[in-house]
Structure 1
Amino acid sequence: MSRCTLRAVFGWSAAVWSAALCVLVLWMSTGAATVQGQHIVDRYQQARQLRLLDQLYPQSRYQEAEPMALRMLALAVDSLHQTASAPPPTAADSNAFPMERMRALRRFEKEWLEETFADTKWSFLGPQPRRTFFDTTRTIDLRARLEAHFDAPTYAVADDLQPNRDDFDQFAYWFVVNDSIPVVVSDANGPRDRGLIVATERRWRDVLPEVREAVLAPLRETPDRAPYVDYFYDAVDARWYRVGYDGTDFFIEPVARRQLTRGRRPPTPTP
């Protein structure tokens, strides 16, 4: 074989190998990017889940909740994943948690409820993969609806001025259902978030979505809102805020710490 022929063959082979190498590198990088991208998504969701749990329930009795609570609080509403809309609840769904009576507890009943339910083992329901009205509505709006239907919350951060305490960030409503079942409704992560956290005793954990639907049904059925004001501490900004609804608009505005008095809730605006 002549030198020219060898040059032509090896020149062609080099081009082929070069192209093949490029294809292989591209394929490997694309596959790696896909795997890495999914890994980042999983790590992101895991980090958010752990951060929320640590923020809501650090070193408290709520850590006794069964692993089901972790799965139900998976925060699958992240925009990194698409999820289907949930169908409206059916009669069969509502019958899974038969509610005959429900009473919202007032602020002065806090000591009684803490004593009565001190040994309760809790399960929690946060944002769900199949999104509903209670997962997508802004917390600041849901708080106004709670005010309209159940008056002031049982607990507000103004009561003790302890932000990011071991159970609630901004507010909590306590209910007693059927004279013996405790249900707690609280903000998920402050006024800028969406949805609510619903908790009840562990024996009802398998029907927690139905518990939420039964207790919070009035918020969906009527759009009534009432004026309210809460305090909220944003750990990211390291600032206190007044948040609420004045009868027309929602607001979040900074407030100086020196203006806050422990145990004194902010006055409700007159619409």
Structure 2
Amino acid sequence: MYANLAKMKKIMLSGRLHKLQQSSFRQRMRGCLLLVCMLLFASVANAQFEKPEFKKITADQHEQFSQQFEDINWTGRGLYDNTDLDDIKTNKIRAKLQAAFGNPTKTLEDLINTKGFRPGKAIQFEYWFTVNDSIPMMVLDVDGPFTDGLVFGGASKYIDLMPQIKRSFVRKLMNIEEPGDYSDYFYSPEREQWFRVEYKNGEYKTEKISSPNGMDINYDQ
């Protein structure tokens, strides 16, 4: 009897050990599958942004864009890394943008008569984009033609994707060989001076001008 009982316990313990081993194996398999899924997701996400699609928002689409992304928290995080654009004059980058995307979404002419405009907001241009139809991005000048590079802005919820998006955007502009003609107005509060900034006939120009018609700066705002 005792021999049979001992044998039964041995069988039960063996079965329990087998179940524990099976359970441990299943847990390891689930862990491996989860890791594989995470790696595949990351791989797909990275592949998706190897060649992202940049759709420029036109002037007549900016209200729809603003409504679509009204709850977005804009940030520069994820977009601060230096690139080849940082060593290029902004007026030359503007010509690349013109060639790649056409006219800006907004220029100083669009902004100067809007409510709450102040001289400190006197940008030369803004380009608004959606990336792959879902991620908002914006680029603008820092100080018109007097500095290098661009300012980038993106949605805080997509911070992890922003470095790859920026690299792709910069690569697209750096591949532009034939700049596009343009002519913008720019007002410099520090210099208290209006400028016409343009690229035409293969020549970049920044010239002092008087205040354009209908574009007076109101310092009382």
Q: 1:242 to 1:157 in 2, by over 3 A?
A: same
For residues 42-98 of structure 1, the C-alpha deviation after alignment (integer angstroms, 9 at most, x for no partner) is xxxxxxxxxxxxxxxxxxxxxxxxxxxxxxxxxxxxxxxxxxxxxxxxxxxx74845
1:104 to 12, 33, 56: 56
Contact kept? 1:228, 1:244, Cα under 8 Å: yes
**CA–CA distance in 1 between the matches of 2:106 and 2:98?**
12
Q: Classify the secondary structure of the residue corresponding to 2:66.
A: helix
Q: 1:218 to 1:101 in 2, by over 3 A?
A: closer
Displacement, 1:147?
A: 0.3
**CA–CA distance in 2 between the matches of 1:208 and 1:184?**
12
Contact kept? 1:126, 1:198, Cα under 8 Å: no
**CA–CA distance in 1 between the matches of 2:169 and 2:101?**
11
- Segments of 4+ moved more than 6 angstroms: none
Task: Name 1:141's counterpart in structure 2.
Answer: 92
TM-score, normalization: structure 1? Answer: 0.56
Task: Name 1:122's counterpart in structure 2.
Answer: 74
Displacement, 1:190?
A: 1.8
Q: 1:127 to 1:206 in 2, by over 3 A?
A: closer
**CA–CA distance in 2 between the matches of 1:125 and 1:234?**
27
Give the letter aligned to residue 142 of structure 1: I
Q: Classify the secondary structure of the residue corresponding to 2:178.
A: coil
Q: 1:126 to 1:254 in 2, by over 3 A?
A: farther
Greater C-alpha radius of gyration: 2
Q: 1:188 to 1:111 in 2, by over 3 A?
A: same
RMSD (CA atoms): 2.7
Q: Classify the secondary structure of the residue corresponding to 2:154.
A: strand
Q: Does 1:169 align with 2:123?
A: yes
Q: Percent identity?
A: 29
Displacement, 1:101?
A: 2.9
Q: 1:241 to 1:202 in 2, by over 3 A?
A: same
Q: Does 1:153 align with 2:107?
A: no
Greater relative contact order: 1 or 2 (C-alpha under 8 angstroms, separation 6 or more)? 2
Structure-to-structure mapping, 1:199-238, within 5 angstroms: 199-238=153-192
Q: 1:178 to 1:207 in 2, by over 3 A?
A: closer
Q: 1:199 to 1:244 in 2, by over 3 A?
A: same
**CA–CA distance in 1 between the matches of 2:126 and 2:195?**
17
Contact kept? 1:126, 1:196, Cα under 8 Å: no
Task: Name 2:6's counterpart in structure 1.
Answer: none
Task: Name 2:214's counterpart in structure 1.
Answer: 261
Q: 1:226 to 1:96 in 2, by over 3 A?
A: same
For residues 145-181 of structure 1, the C-alpha deviation after alignment (integer angstroms, 9 at most, x for no partner) is 000110000010111324432xx61111111111111
TM-score, normalization: structure 2? Answer: 0.67
**CA–CA distance in 1 between the matches of 2:148 and 2:123?**
14
Contact kept? 1:126, 1:188, Cα under 8 Å: no
